[in-house]
């Protein structure tokens, strides 16, 4: 068991696993997302209040879920890297950060587009939108620190510390933003207290969420593999793989 884990945590072992797994992940992700999109956009009934505009939920909710999960996953990877010095964990964290920022942006953007038919405005200083925006800035901070420190040894550990500090702060930020929002804004239109969705509305949503998570897995596997190749370029097994050298 431990020997297997050890082999998995080595860049070479992970590379082999990733080559085998990632086509399946990509396939599953695309299938689920295509099925979820067609089901959600074409066959799910329209909302009695919001009409067809509610269908943005099939992009918005999975993106928002993923935005937060990716940050937490990055923090876990950062902790693993700091504690056990497993280089692979940092490679994975590097690989998933841009996707997390992209998902946060997608959640914000789809939220803004959704805001036009429901709130009548592109941007509302709603508690969730605001904390999403702050999450985007946290992602930017991690990306900027990595970028500024470049390829230095300290970049990985500094980014891990920053991600951990961020993950401790995320709940504090979210609760304080909610507190701020309830103090300042009368409850205008709440997306949260909508009546429970019938199953033919949330089943496609579930498919989409699963599809997005598979996409996350697939992107992380693929990008981590690229990161391994980039960082281990001088190792013998990589040179053998790419046909360089003997």
Contact positions vs other proteins (CB under 8 A): 82, 134, 137-138, 140-141, 144-145, 148-149, 152-155, 157-158, 161-162, 164-166, 168-169, 172-173, 176-177, 179-180, 183
- Closest approach of other proteins to the CB of residue 155, in Å: 7
Alpha helices, H only, 87-152: 87-119, 127-149
Q: Identify which of residues 18 and 174 has a Cβ nearer to other proteins in the complex.
A: 174
Q: Identify which of residues 79 and 112 has a Cβ nearer to other proteins in the complex.
A: 79
- Closest approach of other proteins to the CB of residue 6, in Å: 25
Can you tell me the distance from the alpha carbon of 49 to that of 179, in angstroms, rounded to the nearest whole number?
A: 28
- Closest approach of other proteins to the CB of residue 83, in Å: 12
Give every CB contact of residue 54 below 8 A, 6+ residues apart in sequence.
46, 47
Residue ranges of E strands in the chain:
none
- Closest approach of other proteins to the CB of residue 180, in Å: 4
Structure tokens at 202: 């949330």
Give every CB contact of residue 190 below 8 A, 6+ residues apart in sequence.
none
Q: Identify which of residues 59 and 142 has a Cβ nearer to other proteins in the complex.
A: 142
47 forms beta bridges with 51
Q: Identify which of residues 29 and 162 has a Cβ nearer to other proteins in the complex.
A: 162
């Amino acid at each position: 068991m431990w020997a297997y884990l050890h082999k998995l945590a080595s860049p070479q072992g992970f590379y082999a696993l990733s080559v085998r797994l990632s086509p399946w992940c990509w396939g599953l992700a695309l299938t689920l997302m295509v099925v979820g999109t067609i089901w959600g956009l074409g066959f799910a009934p329209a909302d009695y209040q919001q009409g067809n505009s509610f269908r943005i939920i099939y992009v918005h909710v999975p993106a928002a879920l993923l935005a937060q999960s990716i940050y937490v996953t990055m923090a876990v990877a950062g902790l693993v890297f700091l504690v056990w010095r497993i280089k692979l964990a940092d490679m994975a964290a590097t690989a998933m950060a841009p996707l997390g920022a992209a998902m946060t942006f997608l959640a914000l953007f789809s939220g803004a587009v959704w805001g036009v038919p429901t709130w009548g405005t592109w941007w509302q200083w709603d508690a969730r939108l605001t904390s999403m925006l702050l999450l985007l800035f946290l992602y930017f901070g991690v990306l900027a620190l990595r970028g500024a420190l470049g390829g230095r040894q300290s970049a990985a550990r500094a980014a891990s510390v920053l991600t951990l500090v961020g993950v401790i702060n995320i709940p504090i930020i979210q609760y304080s933003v909610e507190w701020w929002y309830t103090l300042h804004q009368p409850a205008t239109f709440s997306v949260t207290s909508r009546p429970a969705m019938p199953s033919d509305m949330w089943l496609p949503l579930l498919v989409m969420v699963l599809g997005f998570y598979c996409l996350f897995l697939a992107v992380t596997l693929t990008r981590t593999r690229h990161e391994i190749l980039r960082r281990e370029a001088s190792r013998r097994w990589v040179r053998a793989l790419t046909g360089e050298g003997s």
